[in-house]
Amino acid sequence: MDNKLEFVDVLRDVPGTQRKSDMGSFEYSHKAEITNVYPLTANEKLYQIQIIDPEMRKRFTFRPGQFVMLEVPGVGEAPFSISSSPVRHGDIELCIRNVGNMTNFLSRVGRGVQVGITGPFGTSFPVEEMMGQNIFLIAGGLGIAPLRSPILSVLENRSRYANVDIIYGARQPSELLFTYQYEMWRKFDIGLDIIVERPDKEWKGPVGLTTHILKEKIANPAISLSKDTYAIVCGPPVMFKFVCNMLMEAGIPMQKMFVSLERRMHCGRGKCCRCNVGSTYTCLKGPVFDYWSVMNLKEAI
Amino acid sequence: MIFRIIEKTELKELVDVMAVNRIIGPVQKGTGLDGKPLYAFGPVADFNDLKLDYTTTARPAKRYFLPSHETLCNFKIHENGWEKSVDFNIHEPHVFFGLHACDINALHKLDKVLLKSSFPTPYYAAKRMNMFIIGIECKPQPFCFCRSMGTDSALHGFDMFLTDLGDKYFVEVQSAAAFNFLKNINTSDPKEKDHARYMEVVAEKNRKFTATVDTTDLAKILDMEFQSDVWKYWGDKCLSCGTCASVCPTCYCYGVEESVDIDLKGAVKKKHLYSCNLIDFAEVAGGHNFRPESHTRLKYRYYHKHRGFAEEFEESLCVGCGRCSEACLAKIKVPEVIASIRSGVKPRGR
């Protein structure tokens, strides 16, 4: 009798699809090309990245707020929020700050470089649910990157939303991102307030923190932050608590306030544990959380 | 379930029959300073090397299904792009001869997160599905608190489970493959007296447990005591070395690193198991560390094990094997940590 155990091949019966339950898709990444690099500031660039296979590019769909894992073979793999509109499918834009090993490498590459894209991963901002309601977006620094996708999504369906207001703060004017789009956003009936902490000589706008503008808005009787308002907040860790508390006091329900959290991630698939907040996977249950969930997470903000 | 009896003299036959496959089992690696033997899971080349009466191993058999370092994929880099090739790093089935109930239960827990969740991990799955497991009843050690964690017996997840009745083994058979192996050797049906002896042996084992952990409402208590100063006490002792994670049969956290070959024609993506106690575990690019202090990392470890995992899968991610407590250079012991968090009182005299 043959006592040799039979080898089980985990991929034996797996069709070549891209469902997340398929083991074959775990280490699969879409080949993509950096089609354009647009310098936004001294440290941040906007990368246009296109999935090479036209069929895959069309099939690639995501919701605003989701992220992809971007892989540069031999250099690393890291999570980035998608900054482009969902209508563009697999022709995405990522706003990347030169801050670590991999982003440092990316800051030196140009058009034509082939990278890998996996995803999309994580939760998203409920832009459909928000229809018919006011939207209040508050971003600090690089926090505008994950907010640009919902902003563009709202712009494309502008008539379906009531008032849309953005408060965006940065340390100094030279660090403001997407400056070339402000005029367009305003023309599409979006209220945009920009504030910097350290003005330069040319700066004519307000000076201070985002909370400064927020305080004015809340105090202004013409603006009502009622139950009919959704809020999206993203910024450096220190910003969340202050802004969210102010919004809550102003009457926005916790379930209508959304934040996008940043954490270290090595897999994006709920396996490496690096992104855990308390004991919740940011990559699976986040990065977009409503404020009620955040209050129930230890050490989230 | 099918039960059989094997005479001890027949066991060598069983091992010989299985030897066409790669057998991993408890073998003696040396002698400790206290003169007691040190065991580890390793390849079993000879029946006499297989130490089924082992106390415990310093490390679990984890390296065979969750290796500390593993290549996830290789890249061939050419002028216009790259090609990725993936290998799950397993090419033959392995027989695990002599796993204790805690280690079998550890596999069940890992299965829940690595196999039965969204994004199942093929690297783990490929190895896991090629495991043939023979369990063996253990002898409780002073540091074992598996009984408190409900992992002192394995109800499923093995092909065969042996219990030493003195001159013979009582065998639970749970797979057709195991049943077929047993056809090669002399076995018999258990008799009434074998059943009685089996129950005696199990009762005797249960009397030997000394360490306990009170797990009543543990998830809730961890939440309530999140700000407790007791965490700082343990954090001050902790060396943040990560030994606890490396000897833990259920720790699966990891990091990924990529490197370019020296000829620039290839690259490799490697995974290495990590530990949430290591200082940069939650550090993001740019330098912000979400858990800069030692006590916040140690607390997180208990949080993930006893609250987060419990919330997701209704059980704790700890099997009470006690390996981390034994291996800890700072002598931090899980039962003591949990007791102190429950009571809110730091241990005295240490």
Quick one: average pLDDT of A101-116? Answer: 93
Please name the amino acid found at residue A157.
N
Q: What is the mean pLDDT of residues A199-204?
A: 92
Nearest to A240 by CA among A273, A262, A213: A262
Contact between chains at B21 and A274 (C-beta distance less than 8 A): no
Residue showing tokens 């607390």:
B299
Please tell me if residue A111 touches chain B, with a CB cutoff of 8 Å.
Answer: no
How high is the pLDDT of residue B65? 95
Question: Which chain A residues are within 8 Å of B91, Cβ to Cβ?
Answer: 7
Three-class SS of residue B126? Answer: helix
> Quick check: A99 contacting B, CB < 8 Å?
yes
- Predicted confidence (pLDDT) per residue in A79-100, tens digit: 999 999 999 998 999 999 999 8
Residue B61 main-chain phi, psi, to 5 deg: -80, 15
Question: Model's pTM, two decimal places?
Answer: 0.91
Q: Give pLDDT tens digits for A34-54.
A: 999 999 999 999 999 999 999
Q: How far apart are the C-alpha atoms of B334 and B116, rounded to whole Å? A: 28
pLDDT bracket for residue A28 (50, 70, 90): confident
Q: What are the φ and ψ backbone dihedral angles of B262, each rounded to 5 degrees? A: -65, -25
Q: Which residues of A touch B267 (CB under 8 A)?
A: 73-75
Cβ–Cβ < 8 Å for A18, A6: no
**From the candidates B258, B289, B299, which should be mutated to test the interface with A, based on the most A CB atoms within 10 A?**
B258
Rg (CA), chain A: 21
Q: Where are the domains of chain B?
A: 2-67+87-207, 218-253+276-343
What residue spans in chain A does CATH classification 3.40.50.80 cover? 134-260
Residue with tokens 């090629």: B130
pLDDT at A17: 54
* pLDDT value of position A15: 55
In this prediction, residue A20 carries a pLDDT of 62
Q: Would you state the structure tokens that stand for residue A100, as one six-digit string?
A: 């670590």
**A229: helix, coil or strand?**
strand
List, in order, residues 6 or more apart from A207 with CB less than 8 Å away: A195, A196, A197, A198, A199
R_g over Cα of chain B = 22
For residues A179-186, average pLDDT: 93
- Label residue A78 by pLDDT band (50, 70, 90): very high
> In sequence order, which ranges of B264-303 are alpha helices (DSSP H)?
294-303
> CA–CA separation, A155 vs A188, rounded Å?
7
Strand B22-31 versus strand B94-99 pairing type? parallel
> Pick from B127, B70, B136: which is nearest to B103 by CA?
B136
Task: Determine whether the interchain pair B93/A266 forms a contact, defined as Cβ–Cβ distance below 8 Å.
Answer: no
**DSSP letters of A41-80?**
SSSEEEEEEEESSHHHHHH----TT-EEEEEETTTEEEEE
pLDDT tens digits, A211-247: 999 888 888 777 677 778 999 999 988 888 899 989 9
Task: Give CA–CA dist B40/B57, Å, rounded.
Answer: 5
> What confidence score (pLDDT) does residue B118 get?
86
Sort strands B2-7 and B22-31 into parallel, antiparallel or unpaired.
unpaired
Helices and strands of chain B, counted as H and E runs: 13, 11
Q: Which CATH architecture has domain A134-260?
A: 3-Layer(aba) Sandwich (3.40)
Q: Which residues pair with A44 in a beta bridge?
A: A97
| Residue B115: C-alpha distances to residues A273, B112, B129, B249 (Å) | 15, 6, 10, 16
Map residue B224 onto helix, strand or coil.
Answer: helix
Helices then strands, counting H and E runs in chain A, come out as: 8, 12
- Write down the pLDDT at residue B69: 95
Within 10 Å of residue B72's Cβ, how many Cβ atoms? 23
Q: What is the mean pLDDT of chain B?
A: 92
pLDDT tens across the length of chain B (350 residues)? 899 999 999 999 999 999 999 999 999 999 988 899 999 999 998 999 999 999 999 999 999 999 999 999 999 999 888 999 998 999 999 999 999 999 999 999 999 999 988 899 999 999 999 999 999 999 999 999 999 999 999 999 999 999 999 999 999 999 999 999 999 999 999 999 999 999 999 999 999 999 899 999 998 998 888 889 999 999 999 999 999 999 999 999 999 999 999 999 999 999 999 999 999 988 888 888 889 999 999 999 999 999 888 888 889 999 999 999 999 999 999 999 999 999 888 887 55
Cite the residue boundaries of each domain of chain A with CATH code 2.40.30.10: 23-120
Q: Which helix (H) or strand (E) holds A290?
A: strand A288-290
A143: pLDDT strictly greater than 80: yes
Strand A288-290, strand A257-260: pairing:
antiparallel
Q: CATH assignment of A23-120, given 3.30.420.10, 2.40.30.10, 1.25.40.10, 1.10.10.10?
A: 2.40.30.10
Of A10, A99, A272, the CB nearest to B285: A99
Which pLDDT value is given to residue A174?
94
Phi, psi of B132 (to 5 degrees): -110, 120
Q: Tell me how far apart the alpha carbons of residues B164 and B53 are, in angstroms, rounded to a whole number.
A: 9
Mean pLDDT of chain A: 90
| Whether B125 and A10 lie within 8 Å, measured CB to CB | yes
Helices (H), chain B: 11-18, 101-114, 122-128, 146-149, 176-182, 192-207, 218-224, 230-237, 243-247, 294-303, 309-313, 323-327, 334-343
pLDDT given for residue B349 in this prediction: 57
pLDDT at A19: 62
CB proximity under 8 Å: A 166-195 to B: none
Interface ipTM > 0.95: no
Residue B74 phi/psi, 5-degree rounding, is: -115, 145
Percent of chain B with pLDDT over 90: 82
At residue A18 the predicted structure's pLDDT band, cuts being 50, 70 and 90, is low
Using a CB-CB cut-off of 8 Å, the residues of chain A touching B261 are: 74
Q: What is the pLDDT of residue A116?
A: 95
* CB spacing of B254 vs A264 below 8 angstroms: no
Query: What is residue A35's three-state secondary structure?
Result: strand
Tally Cβ neighbours within 10 Å of residue A16: 9
CA distances, B127 to each of A79, B112, B131 (Å) = 28, 15, 7
